[in-house]
Amino acid sequence: MNAQPPARLVVLVSGHGSNLQALLDACQSGAIPARIVAVFSNRPDAYGLERARQAGIPAIAVPKPRDLDRSEYDAALSGQVEACQPDWVILAGWMRILSNSFLERFPGRVVNLHPALPGAFPGTHAIQRAFEAFQQGAIQATGVMVHLVPDEGVDNGPVLGQEEVLILPEDTLETLEERIHACEHRLLVDVVRRLASSDRAV
Ligand code: GRF
């Protein structure tokens, strides 16, 4: 039986890249039957690009030029990403909302990670907002989700995986962030493994 070639992943990051590192390590160890063929960042100083370079993977900075509007920038970016022929585009700490001029080129193939449960705390500073809601007695738990990005909605789309994270009375924002990131690393690797292992259509 012909062995299926490993799935091709393109990862988009904007910052530190600890979730990218979890994917890099899992692809390297074979835990995920895939390979990361390129990493893009809208921030040239993103440490995620350095992680890609250290792993010998093309690391491409794509800062948004002032003279391009969002849709033009996304269209240009989608061309660069498409040239890498990805099976999946993974948004791992990518802090821009992609417009349809990007998404329409990868239907059903863009996956995002968000540090909150579905429907809760969309947008930025989700961990901090959850911690504040806990301090006000509004919630007892938060979590992490991985979802498809079918349209320009913010941190909402068909959920591929989620995990609840209890908030503890003794938690500080920092200890909660640590547990959320650890949960993200596990969940993202698990979801991407499932996608890469299954037929490459969801
Ligand atoms: C993660 O918490 C992710 O969910 C959010 O941004 C953070 C990126 O972390 N969108 P890192 O750059 O992967 O360490």
Per residue in 163-180, pLDDT tens?
999 999 999 999 999 999
- 19 Cβ closer than 6 Å to some ligand 1 atom: yes
Residues 69-100 pLDDT 10s? 999 999 999 999 999 999 999 999 999 999 99
Between CA 100 and CA 107 the distance in angstroms is 10
Q: 13 near 20, Cβ under 8 Å?
A: yes
Q: 193 near 33, Cβ under 8 Å?
A: yes
The helix (run of H) or strand (run of E) holding residue 13 is strand 7-13
pLDDT averaged over the chain?
96
Residues 181-199 pLDDT 10s? 999 999 999 999 999 998 6
Q: 139 near 129, Cβ under 8 Å?
A: no
Residues 111-125 pLDDT 10s? 999 999 999 999 999
Between CA 175 and CA 153 the distance in angstroms is 30
Q: How confident is the model at residue 47 (pLDDT cuts 50, 70, 90)?
A: very high
Q: 81 near 50, Cβ under 8 Å?
A: no
- 165 Cβ closer than 6 Å to some ligand 1 atom: no
Residue 139: per-residue pLDDT: 98
CA distances from 121 to 32, 48, 127 (A): 29, 25, 8
Between CA 13 and CA 22 the distance in angstroms is 13
Measured in degrees and rounded to the nearest 5, phi and psi for residue 145 equal: -140, 155
Mean pLDDT of 47-68: 97
Share of the chain above pLDDT 90, in %: 95
Strands 141-148 and 59-61: unpaired
- 114 Cβ closer than 6 Å to some ligand 1 atom: yes
Measured in degrees and rounded to the nearest 5, phi and psi for residue 35 equal: -135, 140
Find the 170 Cα to ligand 1 centroid distance in Å: 23
Q: How confident is the model at residue 200 (pLDDT cuts 50, 70, 90)?
A: low
Find the 184 Cα to ligand 1 centroid distance in Å: 8
* Threshold 0.75, pTM exceeds: yes
- What domains are there in the chain, each with its CATH number? 7-197 (3.40.50.170)
DSSP labels, 86-133: -SEEEESS--SPPPHHHHTTSTT-EEEEESS-TTSS-SSSHHHHHHHH
- 38 Cβ closer than 6 Å to some ligand 1 atom: no
Find the 183 Cα to ligand 1 centroid distance in Å: 11
- Residue 174: CA count within 13 A, CB half-sphere: 0
Q: Atom 2, ligand 1: which residue's CA is nearest?
A: 115
